[in-house]
Structure 1
Amino acid sequence: MRLQQPIYVDKPVASIKLKISATDIPTSASVTITDIQLQAGEQPTGIVPNPAEVGTTIGRAQYRNGVINPGLQVVALSNADKAAPVYMRIRGKGVTRVGAYKFGALNGVAEVDGLNHYASQGYGRAPIITERQDLTLNTVLTGRAHLQASWNERS
């Protein structure tokens, strides 16, 4: 889950103190904070796990989505037993390339489906998550874009 809180100050930030508290949780439940990420600017970026998919089992669909910036390397975590083709849906404006797939000049939404060999525009190779590896994609963008990626981790 991603929680966002902008920090507005007129001078450089010397330190930040965080207090994280969980409320309205059953006494038998536990909460684990795995990481905290601080980013400059007003917009959150990066691929994040879909909260509904946390703790998924092998053989089920995996989803990642987030805002990507020009030149950002996208890493989507995976630990699949076998290679899996990826479906990508991207919303942006301007010349766009994600991994080895060139969407060309976008003005809205485009998609590429590696499993069904379909693309709404562009050319190239749809990403494939290889066995026991994370998906790592270089990007070339004119501006920011929203990327949704999904695949089926097969056993």
Structure 2
Amino acid sequence: MLQPFGPPRDAQRYAHFVRVAVLPLSHKMCMALVAPVAGVTCLMEPEIIKFLSEFTAIKPGKISGDTLVNFDLGVDGDDGLELLQEYAKKFDVDISGISESYFSPEGVPLLWPFHFIRLLLGHRPIGLVPLPVSQLVKSAEAGKWVNM
């Protein structure tokens, strides 16, 4: 008969069966509460993919660590800034260390037909740094912005 985990000694007894925890906790809470007791690794990637899926309305199965938030998911302008602010709040990440430009300014460029044709041909905006999901994961695990 299986019984739920009780005191920490039960978690230690069964720790060799469980090595990874995907929990709806912040990474800091997972590391503080679960990892020391059970010796598990707290994964952030599924939670961040879920967050991005909800923000962009793109299915989680289409988002991976290599997906670029600003180019592949189409997040740009004020939406990009809003995404980073919500991300920082939800995952408790200090984003004051961001020095790159990941999103274009809001509005329509003066030569919009030229820019539109370039986007249709697969060209990326000049001067923007790619923002992969893996960078969001590493930053959430570190608790501060990590440049890649």
Query: TM-score normalized by structure 1?
Result: 0.28
Structure index of larger Rg: 2
TM-score by length of 2: 0.29
Higher helix share: 2
Q: Which has the higher contact order (CA 8 A, sep 6+)?
A: 1
**When you count strand as a share of all residues, which structure comes out higher?**
1
